[in-house]
Structure 1
Amino acid sequence: MIVFPRYKKLVSLVPGGPLQFLDLGFSLDQIPRLREEFWEYAETGPQGETVWTLLNLKADEDGNGYINRQTGAPATDPRPGPHFGKPIEPQYAISLDKAVEPFLDQWIPLPFLHLAPGHAGGETTFRRGPANWCRGRLSRLPDNHPSGHTHGLTVVFDPAVEGDQPDAYHAALCRQDVAEGAEFGLAARIRNNDWFLQRDWVRDWIKDLYLAHLRSRSRRPVHEEHLEHHVEHLARYLTLLKALDRSGVVPRVRVIDPDRFQPVQVDLVLDIGNSRTCGILIERDESGAPNMSNGSVLELRDLSQPPHRHSEPFGSNVAFGTARFGDPNDWSLMSNRSTPAFSWPSVVRVGPEARRIALRSRREEGQTSMSSPKRYLWDHAPRRQEWRFCPETDDADAPELPVTSGPLVMHVNDQGTPLHVLEAGGRGLPADLRGQVADPVTAPVFSRSSLMMFLLSEVIAQALVHVNSPAQRGDRANSDIPRQLRRIVLTVPTAMSIAERKIFTAWAEWAVQIVWRSLGWEGAGTTGFRAPPQVRCEWDEASTTQMVWLYNEVAEKFSGDIGAAFSVLGRKRGSAERPSLRVASLDIGGGTTDLIITTYLDRTQGAAGVIEPRQEFREGFTVAGDDILKAVIEAHFLPALRAALEAAGVADAGEFLTRHLGKDYSGQAEHDRNLRVQFVDQVAVPYGLRILHLAETTPLPEAAGAAVTLRYDDIFSDPEQEPRPAVLRFLEEDAMRAGAAGGFRLADLEVPVNLEEVATTITNVVEPFLNDLGEVVHHHGCDVLLLSGRPSCLPAVQATVLRKAPVSAARVVPLNGYKVGHWYPFWTPGGRIADPKTTAVVGAALCALAEGSLRNFHFDTARLRPASTCRYMGEMTAVGQVHDAHLFFSGLDLDGSDEEELTATLKFSAPIYIGFRQLPLERWKATTFYHLGFAGQTAIQNSRGRLPYDVTLTYRRDPRAEDDDPRPGAQGNLRDEGVFEITEVTGVDGMPVQPRDLDLRLKTMREENGHWLDTGLLTVV
């Protein structure tokens, strides 16, 4: 979305802070008529080279000659010889349209210079600098933009401070600028910026853009030496500067002195899901307390389309991408800055930008993107292929370079582990990360787990820019005081293993540390706006979702009267004197479905109302929205694709699809596997999401018999979202070779959708586990059941819950459409929650505020501590269960304080998964935990004739080690599930086997090669 904030005439910037942006809108056709005239001439330089100089002329008042704008004197020929001193006339003129053409959608350097204290003849004068701290990008807006503007100008400042005092020429801010509270403005007149135009790096940068523009419009080669006007690029650039000045929208700026003020502290609250991520920012008021009314939605700046800013929940997908603010040939390295100009402390993009840049990736030499790092927290293994940057342009020959450039990669090694952690001895590192080489990246084979740190680094960088942006500060109190990111609060799935939660927390802490190092802030100390934030990872998504409902009911509807609220919503239990409220929340996300049941007790003493939570039950299954999407693609998109292939003449369309989308096979080229992944991502998933959108917006009674036909143009109406041609050819060309003699075009594909059948598909996915969880809700006698997460919006999901309603139907509350007050940061007109994904992050913010900062609401969040659901552990079956006959350990008490060491022996003939469940029910779905397999091909060869092995596993858990975690910021009292170790292996012949022949490692995903969104593997029926 492109929105233009309102700015004051004098905008404040934070020196030494992150990049700061201005978004300015205006209409070119409202700029007074602009036509600049020029005269250029050549001289011989000191090395014998030809140097061209540009003069900007204007007609004098009596119309008898021209004035040189640089000097204000009559324009005369400056060249030695017979023409010296004779009047000159313009050689050519530049109109506004011609000025804009070469620079549209391109970053250009802007002479945003220090305003001199004196004035000459009433005209503003400027100092010579800073020369390389401001850039701008002009963009054409869509027709009929709501703002009424035709164009947008994005201006970015790099406020790094270099040196104490300015020289005659300086490239960046200096400390004297900060001490003076200096003001800066756009120097659009040639008499103020001629020295700037003479800088080689500026001239070369502008010339490159001009020549690229000419070549894009010409069918013949364009050679610089054949141009009629040799510095027309500078003439067009100068005319553009005057147009921007005349638009009246470019404000002046001043730098504040951040050391004069205590910064305003801000909490960043994040809910990072397997599918989508959501974030909000909470400012603390003048009392130092966080305040929900000071909350705002995290905004992502699209770095490759900078006018766009995204403030909705965004995809958790990541794509490696360079962050360039123009200057592809690095001319500005000659500007004499001592620090890198316009450096961005991240190498990945997230959300809409990640998806867009990944669309143009060919993946010929390595992977460039991934669906979600959260799925792979367990995987610390280096990748076989290097990670590559997505190409910067749509050019088919644009390179996909290895991820070895950028400030961040100087602080991690090839596996993605932070160097400073390794250099400190690796304390707090998981065992499989220790012993790595502490050298900067040369071969980027980052583990999939480490990409969580990369994702968080981008989100943190975006948050730093957002909270300190002039637009964000300008709308709030203390607008001239910098903002400090004080805390980062993260939510986690309810049943995430504690082992994974610790890994998640570690990557978050390391993300902060490497962003700070990339910005050069590692020595900032613990005060000031550059002090690093603390990371808190304490609350689960289902609990925080409950907080939204509980706060809205108690604090808003009952004005904080806990007794009255609990009397209406809850009941008395047992011999309790006061009624309590027992709430179950079912959070269906992209990757997990989580249930938590909590009893809320009224602990009010006097006038101060206090709510004490007591968690009764928690559980989570790895069946959720992604599984629904996959099932819909397989049941409704693939059959239509198969029918189209058969109609085109493909003899065995089922086998054709199985070979292309359903399996890996011997001899398959990596190129084809990459195209399969991209086909699923760029073609199948958009169709699947559109089908789910139809299912979500069609009530079940209307779905009966309802049929819709989806066409290619319906799905890809936005040209930017169309699949790459090579992805379409992946199926189209092979289809022709397989019998489609008349050709086969995916653009002609029609997908008939029966919405009643879609509802049945959804029900078949969710019914088994929803019935199990509903049984638990009924057993605990809950008062209310909340439904959250995007899939909970599907009528088929809601109907599945209601068919065996564990509470009365009136007490089942889908949070999609739940009515909330204006306090809700994602409030929409009508006052209803439009996207239940937002409830987890808002609830986490409430948890942070409930520790004494919420009116009418005090909540004891210390009791919402994480806990493991590991009680029964053993070998998993193919359908994800642990049968009693295959149990290793039962009745585990991970909340106990005693050290444990247990052993178990199992028969091993082939790789197995070890999992756990918390209920003494064989039918209960287990959580995948560890994988036991052969260590390599040599180990497999050694096993011939000696299987099955008798493998003795030792399980250890030391609660003291958990409390004494040496990692900075580590949270004590996280009772994790312990660790396994292979202590003895014996062959069937009775002879010992080296334990190292077997590999036992944490692995919480059953798929061998990864999630279906990353492998492209579907089930073709």
Structure 2
Amino acid sequence: SMMTFFMVELLLQVMREINAPSRRENRGESKQARCLRRIVLTMPTAMTRPERRILEVRMNEALAEVWRTTQLADTPKPIIQMQWDEATATQAVFVYNEIVERFYGDTESFMHASARCCSDGNGLRIASLDIGGGTSDLIITSYRNEGRGLLPKQEFREGFQCAGDDILKGVIENHVIPAFLAYLDARGCPDAQVFLYNRLGPVQSGESALRKIRRQQFSQQVLVPLGLWILGQHEKYQKFDTEHQVAVVWDQVFGRGQKPAAAVLEHIFSYEGSPEDVDIDDFSFTVSAALLNKTITSVMEPFIECLAEATYYYDCDFLLLAGRPSRFPALRDLIIQCMPVSADRVITMHDYEVGDWYPLRNSKFQIGDPKTCAAVGAMICALSEGQLDDFHMRTSQLMMKSTARFIGQISQGKINDDYILFRDIDMEKDDQKISDATFQLHPPVALGFRQLDLDRWPATMLYSLRLKKSNLEGRVPNEINVTLTRLPPDDDPREKLFEVENCVDENGDFLSSKLVKMGLQTMLINNLHWADTGCFDLSGVK
């Protein structure tokens, strides 16, 4: 598994770093080897229970492999903690810095100063929105002061599979590829739009393996760097300005030694019938901030509106914004326009000032990269019950919880109420009585979940049901009615949670339950991710 290899690599890098001669010399006792005592993994806020179980298994497999290959069998293995999510870690950074740095350890003063006048002064409710590469996660937590410590209580959590990668894809489709089209048209290339569609659109029938590889390489070596450059320039501006123009110049994006491979460029620019050779080195274009804002808004608005609605409903005192995309002025303005809290209560973590305790701060004593909040916040959560001066928070009360309460057939990212199979369930409770669900199968079927009893609430993929390939050659019944059942905990070591109980045809005859394959699938698309294929939606490119 790639995840296991990734974990192995991560562990080896950590062990190398903590035992580096320079680090040991700076920290004292340079002759004493360092060892890992604890590994804290933060997870996406709405990560499902089956996914968490798989991650735990992969982490333990990687740890066992590292201990075996590095001959550390006599050394105790570190404890693995998988208890907190990334959005909770962001809140830990904020609360710790406010109490320790700004209120000198006076928790009561922090609560009274931070809570709005409409509250009782002893309670505080904070929402944190972590927008990463793959998911946008919201956690709402209330805090109460108990003596010199804080008692947190999670009120609401949600996560959607729309984030930075989707923004990047939108920038490539709406700005980078149209610029290539204009570039080819300006040089008299005939049928440039058709040519780009064949190179960057859906995979064509009979397309060679080499072209598929070149398509993916062109995406990673050319399109992605150009898209990231545009977003990188956009995030440098503190305020949104519709008149601003982002200039993209080939030589600036691809400096010395960073240019794409010649074979990759030939895939797109070896153009038969072109009246002149295409010199990519003079490729340049501009993107207006207004159009860039339109792209970012169109991608994120449906999901941000839902998360802002939940934040407003819970009447939060603060909204913390973390994750790299939170630095985009267009995205910050979109969130403020939704008015989940007053504008002065929206805290962007990248320019949030911290004390010298923060290990990854920039020269301005700001966090800088908001993604570091996940690691630093996890450290605070792990040490907050008795190991930090002037700060105590009962983080043992914070646990991951499933947001899958309504499971059903998903279509276009939503679950219609008529297609819900399991209602108001709690996947964290093994003893909950859940009735079996029967439905007519029209394979392949995508099963997803949502948290709220609202048809308009975005849904997330969870399972896929399809006929096994070995059964496709034989007679397939005209009608297949499938019954799903909840697995008993003792028969479910990998926490799959549900399985196919039986299959019945149109005559009421029982079919083999092995006719249908049910598997975990957490991506809504059936094909590979766009970053793996290099395929884009070019329907709007003109």
Shorter-chain TM-score range: over 0.9
Equivalent of 1:639, from 163, 167, 178?
A: 178
Partner AA of 1:1017 in structure 2: C
Count, aligned residues: 539
1:859 aligns with 393
Match of 2:454 among 921, 944, 947: 921
Query: Which residue does the alignment assign to 1:666?
Result: 205
Structure 1 segments, 4+ long, off by >4 Å, are 571-574
Q: Tell me whether 1:563 sits opposite 2:95 in the alignment.
A: no
Is the contact between residue 700 and residue 756 of structure 1 (CA under 8 Å) also seen in structure 2? Answer: no
Letter in 2 for 1:1011: H
In the alignment, structure 1 residue 954 sits paired with structure 2 residue 485: yes
CA distance in 1 between partners of 2:405 and 2:246 (Å): 48
User: Cα distance 1:837–1:867, how it changes in 2: closer, same or farther (>3 A)?
Assistant: same
Residue in 2 that maps onto 1:616 = 155
Are the equivalent residues in 1 in contact too, given 2:234–2:246 (CA < 8 A)? no
In structure 1, the partner of 2:538 is: 1020
8 A Cα contact 1:874 1:915, kept in partner: yes
* CA positional deviation for 1:625: 0.3
Q: Distance in 2 between matches of 1:856 and 1:473?
A: 28
Structure 1's 699 and 556: CA in aligned 2 closer, same or farther, altered over 3 A?
closer
* Maintained 8 Å contact 2:438/2:483: yes
Residue from 410, 419, 432 that aligns with 1:876 = 410
Task: Tell me the residue number matched to 2:263.
Answer: 726
Q: Give the Cα separation in 1 of the matches to 2:491 and 2:326.
A: 40
Secondary structure of the 2:84 match is: strand
Deviates further, 504-513 or 537-546:
504-513
Q: How far apart in 1 are the matches of 2:325 and 2:45?
A: 17
CA separation of 1:942/1:648 partners in 2, compared to 1, >3 Å: closer, same or farther?
Answer: farther
Distance (whole Å) between structure 1 residues aligned to residue 233 and residue 152 of structure 2: 39
Instruction: Tell me by how many angstroms 1:463 deviates.
Output: 1.4
For residue 990 of structure 1, report the CA deviation from its aligned partner.
4.5
Q: Which letter maps to 1:777?
A: T
Letter matched to residue 253 of structure 2: I
Does structure 1 retain, via aligned residues, the 8 Å contact 2:430–2:488? no
Aligned to 2:195: 656
Letter matched to residue 399 of structure 2: R
Alignment match of 2:419 (pick from 879, 886, 896): 886
User: C-alpha offsets along residues 739-780 of structure 1, whole Å, 9 cap, x if unaligned?
Assistant: 313233433322222222111111111111111111100100
Larger RCO (alpha carbons 8 Å, 6+ apart): 2
Q: 1:987 to 1:943 in 2, by over 3 A?
A: farther
Deviations along 1:561-601, one digit per CA (max 9) or x if unpaired, are: 11111011125888x7x611100000000000000000011
Distance 2:458 2:118 in 1: 31
Instruction: Report the Cα distance in structure 1 between the residues aligned to 2:249 and 2:153, rounded to whole angstroms.
Output: 52
Which residue in the other structure is 2:355 paired with? 821
| Residue 804 (structure 1) aligned with residue 349 (structure 2) | no
Distance of 1:689 and 1:897 partners within structure 2: 44
SS of the residue 1:475 aligns to: helix
Which of 486, 493, 515 in structure 1 is aligned with 2:37? Answer: 486
What is aligned with 2:56? 505
Q: Name the amino acid aligned to 2:376.
A: V
> 1:989 deviation in Å?
5.0
CA deviation digits over 1:436-477, x for unaligned, max 9? xxxxxxxxxxxxxx2111111112111111111211110113
Matched, 1:785 2:322: no
Which of 244, 251, 276 does residue 713 from structure 1 map onto?
A: 251
Shift of 1:895: 4.5
| Residue 689 of structure 1 pairs with residue 228 of structure 2 | yes
Partners in 2 of 1:714 and 1:818 — Cα distance?
30
Which AA in structure 1 matches 2:439? L
Q: Name which of 966, 971, 985 aligns with 2:503.
A: 985
Percent identity over the alignment is: 39
Mapped pair 1:549 → 2:89: no
Query: Which residue of 1 is the match for residue 70 of structure 2?
Result: 519
In the TM superposition, what is the alpha-carbon distance from 1:852 to its structure 2 partner? 0.9
Q: For residue 215 of structure 2, what is the aligned residue in structure 1?
A: 676
Q: Secondary structure at the match of 2:443?
A: coil
Quote the Cα distance in structure 2 between the aligned partners of 1:451 and 1:895: 27
Say if 2:37 and 2:79, in contact at 8 Å, map to a contact too.
yes
Give the direction of change, closer, same or farther, for the CA distance of 1:941–1:619 in structure 2 (3 Å limit).
same
- Please provide the CA RMSD for this pair: 1.9
Partner of 1:1000: 518
1:349 corresponds in structure 2 to none
Quick one: distance in 2 between partners of 1:498 and 1:894? 7
**1:900·1:956 contact (CA, 8 Å) conserved in 2?**
no
Q: Distance in 2 between matches of 1:934 and 1:671?
A: 31
- Residue 24 of structure 2 corresponds to which residue in structure 1? 473
Partner of residue 124, structure 2:
581
Q: 2:439 aligns with which of 906, 911, 914?
A: 906
Indicate yes or no: 2:135 matched with 1:592: yes
Per the alignment, residue 942 of structure 1 pairs with: 474
Distance 1:505 1:822 in 2: 34
1:850 to 370, 384, 388: 384
How far 1:997 moved relative to its partner? 2.4
Any idea what SS the aligned residue of 2:110 has?
Answer: helix
SS in 2 for 1:552: helix
* 2:146 equivalent to 1:603: yes
* Structure 2 unmatched runs, 5+: none
Tell me the CA shift for residue 699 of structure 1: 4.4
Partner residue, 1:704? 242
TM-score by length of 2: 0.95
Deviation for aligned residue 1:983: 2.2
Kept in 1: contact 2:181–2:192 (CA 8 A):
yes
2:89 & 2:537 partners in 1: Cα distance?
36
Amino acid paired to 1:817: D
What is the distance in 2 between the residues matched to 1:897 and 1:1005? 26
User: Measured at CA, do residues 572 and 694 of structure 1 come closer, stay the same or move farther in structure 2, by a change above 3 Å?
Assistant: closer
Give the letter aligned to residue 461 of structure 2.
Answer: T
In structure 2, the residue corresponding to 1:485 is in which secondary structure?
Answer: coil
CA contact (8 A) 1:593 1:623 kept: yes
Three-state SS of the structure 2 residue aligned to 1:894 is coil
CA contact (8 A) 1:909 1:947 kept: no
3-state SS of 2:137 partner: strand
Aligned-partner Cα distance in 2 for 1:476–1:699: 38
Q: Is the CA contact 1:645–1:740 (under 8 Å) kept in the aligned structure 2?
A: no
